[in-house]
Amino acid sequence: MELSTVPYIRWAKYEGLMGEHRLTASAVSPIDWSDIGLDPATLKLTEFSPYGPSEVFDRLQEDWGVDPSGVVLGASASHAHFCFGASLVKPGDVIIHEVPGYLPLVDALSMLRVKTVPFQRRFDESYRLDVEQLKKTVIENDAKLVLLTDLHNPSGVSLDKKTLLSIVEMCEVTGCHVLIDEMYRGFLDPDPGPACLLHPRIISVWGLNKIHGISQVRFGWGCATPELADRARRVFDSTTLHTSCLTDQVARAAMTHLDQLTQRGRRYAQEGWGIFSDWLQQQDLAVIPPDGGLICFPEVPQEIARDGDHFRELCMEQGLNVTPGRVFGASQHVRIGFGLEEAQLKPALDILAKVLNPS
Ligand SMILES: Cc1ncc(COP(=O)(O)O)c(C=O)c1O
């Protein structure tokens, strides 16, 4: 087995931070302690709870009616994702994953000597998930697990109700599990809630990283049936002891401010998209409008650049950073994050316009 270099994460940690102007972010800008009513001087270094603070379980139950015994809080959303995914497959099993997609989640599960099979979400089909085709791929490969994101990272396209019901039918017919990363779901207004409520073989993962302005705290969880969560907890117990006590205290405080934080995050998304879509009207750039969130995934115009990496090079010559689509498995694209304050977004878009319209 080839150990993945996890290209997106390495890119995000170094190249992603370059440039005076950046359209690379997929999370809203950070909040302050006061936004969650927490005085950092009161943080304790001695807290301990076996599986995380009860306030988080309570809030998830209150908001979505999920059974707390079906919830596993991870050291991060990816950790929760791994705990559920790893508890459902054995070496040699097939996992199907979307491309373009958030591939670090696939890289983690690949270490279990499973076979990973890509499934295309096509730009020319507006990144719609073709569930009929997906079902055929599951059956042909006898796949045990399907990995999806909703909203789709990198395009921001959502799984609508009809698509979700087709996924439910696919679970029924094939017996496979579907693990959905729903980190960006809260950008939808109203939030349709976790897909795990639709079927016992669907697992939803989300957390506090994207919309709530506490992205560096990296707190996330997975929700499913109590039986699946019990299996996931075995992976949890073998990959960490318990969640960080500092993270727990921040997460607990965030639970009493979730609505305000969500409204704030949605405001970034709406205002950013407003500015970006106005700008787009003057540009010759093919973009599938996202259903929510802070990102979109246009195709690079061939007359401007060979591929997304080349396009980024041209942007970087003018001090602007964008994310090359290669790291999501689609090299002809770039991911553009528009969830910035106007004062940062407008100058960045001016540069992008210059790259798209060389004189
Ligand atoms: C779809 C998706 N899932 C998971 C993550 C990572 O979350 P965490 O750092 O909590 O694992 C990201 C990016 O931050 C993401 O875009």
What is the distance in angstroms between the CA of the first residue and the CA of the last residue of the chain?
A: 48
- Total structural domains in the chain? 2
222 in contact with ligand 1, CB cutoff 6 A: no
- The DSSP letter of residue 190 is S
- Whether residues 249 and 280 share a domain: the answer is no
Q: What is the CATH number for 289?
A: 3.90.1150.10
Q: 207 in ligand 1 pocket by Cβ < 6 Å?
A: yes
Percent share of the chain, pLDDT over 90: 98
Q: In whole angstroms, what is the distance from residue 231 CA to residue 226 CA?
A: 9
Domain assignment present for 182: yes
Cα(78) to ligand 1 centroid in Å equals 6
Ligand 1 pocket member 218 (CB < 6 A): yes
pLDDT at 37: 97
Instruction: Please report which confidence band the pLDDT of residue 174 belongs to, taking 50, 70 and 90 as the band edges.
Output: very high
Do 225 and 290 fall into the same domain?
no
> Which helix (H) or strand (E) element contains residue 154?
none
pLDDT, position 2? 83
273 lines ligand 1 (CB under 6 A): no
* Mean pLDDT to the nearest integer, 21-31: 97
Residue 104 near residue 8, CB atoms below 8 Å: yes
Residue 177 is predicted with a pLDDT of 98
Shared domain for 112 and 169, answered yes or no, is yes
The rounded Å distance from CA 40 to ligand 1 centre is 25
End-of-domain residue from the set 238, 257, 276: 257
Q: Are 259 and 106 in contact (CB under 8 A)?
A: no
Query: What pLDDT digit, counting tens, does each position of 319-328 carry?
Result: 999 999 999 9
pLDDT 10s digits, 110-156 = 999 999 999 999 999 999 999 999 999 999 999 999 999 999 999 99
One domain for residues 87 and 233 = yes
Residue 359: pLDDT band (50, 70, 90) is confident
- Looking at the CA of residue 78, tell me the nearest atom of ligand 1: 11
Given the CA of residue 76, which atom of ligand 1 is nearest to it? 10
CATH number, residue 210: 3.40.640.10
Instruction: Tell me which residue range forms the domain holding 331.
Output: 7-30+259-356
The pLDDT score that the predictor gives to residue 206 is 98
Q: Are residues 212 and 322 in the same domain?
A: no
The answer to whether residue 241 is domain-embedded is yes
Segment 269-279 shows an average pLDDT of 98
Averaged pLDDT, 61-87:
98
Q: Are residues 209 and 328 located together in one domain of the fold? A: no
Q: Is 323 in the pocket of ligand 1 (CB under 6 A)?
A: no
> Is residue 64 predicted with pLDDT exceeding 80?
yes
* Mean pLDDT for the chain overall: 97
Asked if residue 251 belongs to a domain, the reply is yes
Kindly report, residue by residue over 185-242, the tens digit of the pLDDT: 999 999 999 999 999 999 999 999 999 999 999 999 999 999 999 999 999 999 999 9
Are 241 and 192 in a shared domain?
yes
Query: Does the pLDDT of residue 169 top 90, yes or no?
Result: yes
Q: How far apart are the CA of 175 and the centre of ligand 1, in A?
A: 27
Domain boundary among 195, 227, 257: 257
Residue that finishes a domain, picked among 234, 257, 280: 257
Q: Is the CB of 337 under 6 A from ligand 1?
A: no
Strands 177-181 and 145-149: parallel
Q: Please name the residues in contact with 185: beta carbons below 8 A apart, sequence gap of 6 or more.
A: 150, 151, 158, 191, 192, 194, 206
Q: In percent, how much of the chain has pLDDT > 70?
A: 100
**Residue 203: in which H helix or E strand, if any?**
strand 202-207
Is 171 contained in some domain? yes
Q: Is the predicted pLDDT of residue 1 greater than 80, yes or no?
A: no
Distance 300 CA to ligand 1 centre (A): 25
Q: Assess whether 64 and 94 both reside in one domain.
A: yes
Q: Is 295 in the pocket of ligand 1 (CB under 6 A)?
A: no
Answer yes or no: do 300 and 230 share one domain.
Answer: no
What number is the average pLDDT over the span 327-348? 98
Q: What is the pLDDT of residue 47?
A: 86
For ligand 1, atom 7, name the residue with the nearest CA: 77
Separation of CA 322 from chain center? 17
Reduced to 3 states (helix: H, G, I; strand: E, B; else coil), residue 198 is coil
